[in-house]
Amino acid sequence: MPKRDDIRSILVIGSGPIVIGQACEFDYSGTQACRVLRAEGFRVILVNSNPATIMTDPEFADATYVEPITPEFVEKIIAKERPDALLPTLGGQTALNTAVALHEAGVLERYDVELIGADFDAIQAGENREKFKEIVAKVAAEKGLNADSARSVICHTMEECLAAVDVLGYPLVVRPSFTMGGLGSGFAYDEDDLRRIAGAGLDASPTTEVLLEESILGWKEYELEVMRDKADNVVIVCSIENIDPMGVHTGDSVTVAPALTLTDREYQNMRDVAIAVIREVGVDTGGCNIQFAIDPRTGRMIVIEMNPRVSRSSALASKATGFPIAKIAAKLAIGYTLDEIPNDITKETPASFEPTLDYIVVKVPRFAFEKFRGADQTLTTHMKSVGEAMAIGRSFPEALQKALRSLEKKGSSFSWTGHVAPKGELLDDCRTPHDGRLRTMQQAIRAGATPEELFEATNVDPWFIDQLFLIDEQARAVAAAPQLSLEVLATAKHHGFSDAQIGEIRGMDESRVRDLRHALGLRPVYNTVDTCAAEFAAKTPYLYSTYDEETEVPYGDRPKVIILGSGPNRIGQGIEFDYACVHASFELSRAGFETVMVNCNPETVSTDYDTSDRLYFEPLTLEDVLEVVHAEQQTGPVAGVIVQLGGQTPLGLAQALKDAGVPVVGTSPESIHLAEERGAFGRVLAEAGLPAPKHGTALTVGEALAIAEEIGYPVLVRPSYVLGGAGMAIVYDDETLTTYMAAQEGGHPVLVDKFLDEAIEIDVDALFDGEELYLGGVMEHIEEAGIHSGDSACALPPITLGGADIKRIREATLGIARGVGVRGLLNVQYAMSAGVLYVLEANPRASRTVPFVSKATAVPLAKACARVMMGATIASLREEGMLPAEGDGGTLPLDASIAVKEAVLPFNRFRGVDTVLGPEMRSTGEVMGIDEFFGIAYAKSQAGAYGELPTKGRAFVSVANRDKRSMIFPVRALADLGFEILATEGTAEVLRRNGVHAKIVRKQSDGAGPDGEPTIVQRILDGEVDLIVNTPFGSPGQSGPRLDGYDIRTAAVLRGIPCITTVQGLAAAAAGIQAIVRGDVGVRSLQEHARSLRG
């Protein structure tokens, strides 16, 4: 059946900001979908509030709306664009929920918009657990299949939950309905657990509904990715097996594809059930995934759930198999059937087949617990990881070891040196699922644990446990070998050992192992991900390394550029860097280079085999990158390797690559060092005549106190060896400084900087070709200095800086770019305090803000950067039209729209963690709001990040003394808008004295009043407050006001109430609320925006 011709325009909904459980895999799927739909001739309208995505690049849609994904805003877009159809299955749960809301509100009917890719009955049937259970029971009975559901009870109130315990007993699982990433779910072992988890779950569920069910902890867990077309053709794209048994969210589990511990009978039963269920549910034009649990003792199979949309797992499955699920799903949605769609990889065979793998894929999660002190680190059914890495090998040990080293985290790989804890202790640790449990198991093997003991402690399938023993035996063989012969090395490499691991075991330097290996002629080969286990010749070069017989790297005729990606997403290094890499690849391919991408993050657009001329799915370690470069050099000239766009990961390899003779292009490793090393950078600043905050370096408490004495409090302290703000703190007094220093590891220097209180922080992205500076954009932070730039909201163009300020910023940036020797992008952070422009730091690489700046100014900075790195000048790019003919991001017209970037923080995932912002970055993603007026742009950013700002109701205000003066005006604005103002005593007094009526509420530390008057925390928990303003004061560890604030903010997160923690944020919010109340909030596409900026 060919493409539908009765629809011409399609609205695609993206997934919004990167959050835990919904990351850039939806940029990957959405980008694929938009490309397909446009190529098929449809007018594509896109809404996604996340500016860091590729899909929101103006060239991927006809009309791109970076607007909040709320029913209200999407309705405005529908009213304006009048699309014929809405495709909601590629933007995660956010898109699906928004589509359901639009349907229920009658919007789709009113504007005659057809839902494609899914229908409401299917969404309901898939997501309503009771209906789903009935479906499972029905297909099991009708087809005689082994399929069941966990015994369960649906509850809408806590009373119902407590009653259900009589039927199910403890432990039991709590699952809220209609939430993503397992949000709000968990195991309850007793009534306290149940009250806590089910209470939060009832709140988190949009339908106030939770499901309680029998525990299947420790069962084997599987997932199938399924596609079905309207002619009822069904294929299973991939099977995925979780190494961590039931009890750990799939997103937090180490997973493997294909499933490795099923016989054909069991697998086919699972396949039959999946197909019967998808038919019964009625998903008829797209993809979905279905999860299963199998009792390892009896084989009883439970169907856990299905998602009638593409998912994180489908992104993984696409990368694991080479079968592009999102792309095919988009084609099915517009009417094609599977047999009409060719398999891109073979070109010869159709998409109506099931990929078969002759390799093993392992996915490992990456966590960021170090950023969330106080968070529970136990892995549960509630997803906590912030990213993932995938690796491919020809055997499980090879793939697993590659995956572990792809995490780029110290201690993630298996190790055989150093102290081993006692076996009993390690086995005990293994009982609780945690980040790095496989390594704990490996250490337990070192300590003498048996396979049976490990199985008893973990319920990990004995086959996987044996593979850990196999790896351990290989390590011992490496240790015991009289010398590193070819045979010893080849066997170790066959099992995935890195040069570094072999070196560690042998007490040798990694580079010596590599030299020896190369001298013996032992190098990896590169095999193709071909969907068919070599049955047909593959046309799409998607490669992975393995120690096997034949390499399949094709010969090229154009000069090659190798782009190093950014590895697994983590806090501080996410989708923004992938964006820059993808842009470089697109642009350099257009400019005549053969582009080669190296990355190991399965969620990204960069690891789509369509993005670059060639993709290597490889860890970003020195060894793996050197081998890729070597392989590419064997098949044609390599013009350059780009390390500047993938964030800190490739940047960290720059010097070593250069030392190994690799042509690193762009800013030289020596220049990178100039910017990163404090002393050298100080000299650059001195030469350029630029001030930096006073600072010093301390090794001891005494030295730190002396420096603080000299430069004056407050001071910003941080360990010198970490990046991304880890371990940073702002300290106001000797006592806290002493505590901070005492907590540091001995011997590591601590940097002590003067902290510029009440400064305006400014972020600049600029491009430098050696001669000319192109100021990409100047961003003014809304929060004052001291909050990590990644967590701070910012406005572009800057809202309070004048032409003279911009001029100074331009001159300073030029001075730094020249002094450092930048060729490409440069990011500088400034603080403006008392009229002085201080340089805080400079990073000679693409920054997190590049996509935001590119969208706000309608200039493709990353593309321009790639060209500059390969030798183009800014003047020539201006001539080409890539950069504006004149002017730059510092000379935007005064009437230019204002773009506000807001950070999105994962506090709802880490209950108990203080939500107050600080110098350490903790946000996972960002949104953009754009409008002619700052207030509206800010309100849009809030709506995109946290849900819309309230326009009426109760506002609670409690601020630190230093903020009291600046709070008065915005709070009065709120009162004028009709908000009832609640305040703690001190704040209320100041407000009253300034003519704002504020009602006093009891602090948490006061406890309930004599007549049972509730505290503010109780009132928040009871849902009586609509907006919270709470700026923190006092020092960590103290009781009193600080602790009160903590309780307030925690309650706000629990209830999902907007909570503003800076007074600047309050002012912006008040302006935004005013704008919303005035009711003149419109929507405008990026294409319209670009026309207004660039004519």
Partner 1 sequence: MSNAVLVLEDGRVFRGTPYGAEGETFGEMVFNTGMTGYQETLTDPSYHRQIVAMTAPHIGNTGVNDEDPESSKVWVAGYVVREPSRVVSNWRANRSLDTYLKEQGVVGIAIQGTRALTRHLRERGAMRAGIFSDPSESVEALVEKVRQAPQMTGAELATEVSAAEPYVVEAIGEKRFTVAAIDLGIKGMTPQRMAERGCEVHVLPATATFEQITAVAPDGVFFSNGPGDPATADVSVLQQVLAAKIPFFGICFGNQIFGRALGLGTYKLRYGHRGVNQPVQDRRTGKVEISAHNHGFAVEAPLDRTFETPYGDAEVSHVNLNDDCVEGLRLLDGTAFSVQYHPEAAAGPHDAAYLFDEFCEVMSRAQA
Q: Does 247 count as an annotated binding residue?
A: yes
Q: Does 599 count as an annotated binding residue?
A: no
Q: Are 954 and 929 in contact (CB under 8 A)?
A: no
The number of residues in the chain equals 1095
Q: How far is the CB of 527 from partner 1 (least distance, A)?
A: 6
- Helix (H/G/I), strand (E/B), else coil: 984: coil
Q: Does 573 count as an annotated binding residue?
A: no
Using a 10 angstrom Cβ sphere, with 0-12 exposed, 13-18 middle and 19 or more buried, the burial of residue 802 is: exposed
Residue 807 CB neighbours (<10 A): 11
Nearer to partner 1, 24 or 259 (CB): 259
Q: Is 166 in the site for partner 1 (CB under 8 A)?
A: no
Angle at alpha carbon of residue 777, lines to 773 and 780, rounded to 5°:
130
Pick the stretch among 342-350, 401-409, 720-728, 940-948 that binds partner 1 (CB under 8 A): 342-350
For residue 99, what are the contacts with CB-CB under 8 A and spacing of at least 6?
Answer: 13, 86, 88, 108, 115, 118, 123
Q: Are 108 and 115 in contact (CB under 8 A)?
A: yes
Pick the stretch among 91-99, 346-354, 911-919, 949-957 that binds partner 1 (CB under 8 A): 346-354
Q: Is 296 in the site for partner 1 (CB under 8 A)?
A: yes
Q: Does 995 count as an annotated binding residue?
A: no
Among positions 76, 271, 523, 754, the unique one binding partner 1 when judged by CB under 8 A: 271
Among positions 272, 472, 510, 811, the unique one binding partner 1 when judged by CB under 8 A: 272
Nearer to partner 1, 296 or 652 (CB): 296
Q: Is 350 in the site for partner 1 (CB under 8 A)?
A: yes
- E strands present in 694-737: 695-698, 715-719, 729-731
Scan residues 210-249 and list those touching partner 1 (CB under 8 A): 231-236, 239
Among positions 166, 550, 771, 1011, the unique one binding partner 1 when judged by CB under 8 A: 550
Q: How far is the CB of 548 from partner 1 (least distance, A)?
A: 6
Q: Is 262 in the site for partner 1 (CB under 8 A)?
A: yes
Q: Does 134 count as an annotated binding residue?
A: no
3-class SS letters over 439-458: HHHHHHHHCCCCHHHHHHHH
Report residue 642 as tokens: 């780009």
- E strands present in 870-916: 898-904
Scan residues 564-623 and list those touching partner 1 (CB under 8 A): none
Among positions 120, 178, 353, 369, the unique one binding partner 1 when judged by CB under 8 A: 353
Q: Is 357 in the site for partner 1 (CB under 8 A)?
A: yes
Q: Is 25 in the site for partner 1 (CB under 8 A)?
A: no
- Helix (H/G/I), strand (E/B), else coil: 289: strand
Nearer to partner 1, 469 or 933 (CB): 469
Residue 196 to residue 205: CA distance in whole angstroms: 14
Question: Which among 850, 664, 655, 833 has a CA at the least distance from the CA of 760?
Answer: 833
Q: How far is the CB of 550 from partner 1 (least distance, A)?
A: 4
Nearer to partner 1, 528 or 1074 (CB): 528
Q: Is 496 in the site for partner 1 (CB under 8 A)?
A: no
- E strands present in 76-216: 85-87, 114-115, 152-155, 172-176, 186-188, 210-214
Q: Is 299 in the site for partner 1 (CB under 8 A)?
A: yes
Pick the stretch among 259-267, 664-672, 705-713, 835-843 that binds partner 1 (CB under 8 A): 259-267
Q: What is the DSSP string of 775-836?
A: EEEEEEEEEETTS-TTTS-EEES-SS--HHHHHHHHHHHHHHHHHHT-SEEEEEEEEEETTE
Q: Are 725 and 572 in contact (CB under 8 A)?
A: yes
- Helix (H/G/I), strand (E/B), else coil: 1005: helix
Task: Characterize 2-36 residue by residue with b for buried, 16 or more Cβ atoms within 10 angstroms of its Cβ, and e for exposed.
Answer: eebeebebbbbbbbbbbbbbbbbbbbbbbbbbbbb
Q: Is 263 in the site for partner 1 (CB under 8 A)?
A: yes
Q: Is 511 in the site for partner 1 (CB under 8 A)?
A: no
Cis check: omega of the bond before 171, within 30 degrees of 0:
yes
Q: Is 356 in the site for partner 1 (CB under 8 A)?
A: yes
Q: Say which residue the tokens 């071909």 belong to.
A: 530
Q: Does 248 count as an annotated binding residue?
A: yes
Scan residues 862-901 and list those touching partner 1 (CB under 8 A): none
Pick the stretch among 279-287, 311-319, 548-556, 584-592 that binds partner 1 (CB under 8 A): 548-556
Nearer to partner 1, 245 or 815 (CB): 245
Q: Are 762 and 832 in contact (CB under 8 A)?
A: yes
Among positions 93, 255, 352, 458, the unique one binding partner 1 when judged by CB under 8 A: 352
Q: How far is the CB of 1077 from partner 1 (least distance, A)?
A: 57
Q: Does 394 count as an annotated binding residue?
A: no
Q: How far is the CB of 263 from partner 1 (least distance, A)?
A: 5
Among positions 57, 67, 344, 461, the unique one binding partner 1 when judged by CB under 8 A: 461
Q: Is 533 in the site for partner 1 (CB under 8 A)?
A: yes
Pick the stretch among 391-399, 750-758, 869-877, 905-913 that binds partner 1 (CB under 8 A): 391-399
Q: Say which residue the tokens 């007490």 belong to.
A: 507
Q: Does 181 count as an annotated binding residue?
A: yes
The secondary structure element, H or E, covering residue 929 is strand 925-931
Among positions 338, 596, 684, 731, the unique one binding partner 1 when judged by CB under 8 A: 338
The secondary structure element, H or E, covering residue 945 is helix 934-946
Q: Is 532 in the site for partner 1 (CB under 8 A)?
A: yes
Task: Give the total of residues touching partner 1 (CB under 8 A).
Answer: 58
Provide the annotated binding site for Mg(2+).
Answer: 291, 305, 307, 829, 841, 843
Q: Given the rule CB under 8 A, which residues bind partner 1?
A: 231-236, 239, 258, 260-265, 267-268, 271-272, 296-299, 337-339, 348-350, 352-360, 394-396, 451, 461-463, 466, 470, 494, 527, 532-537, 547-550
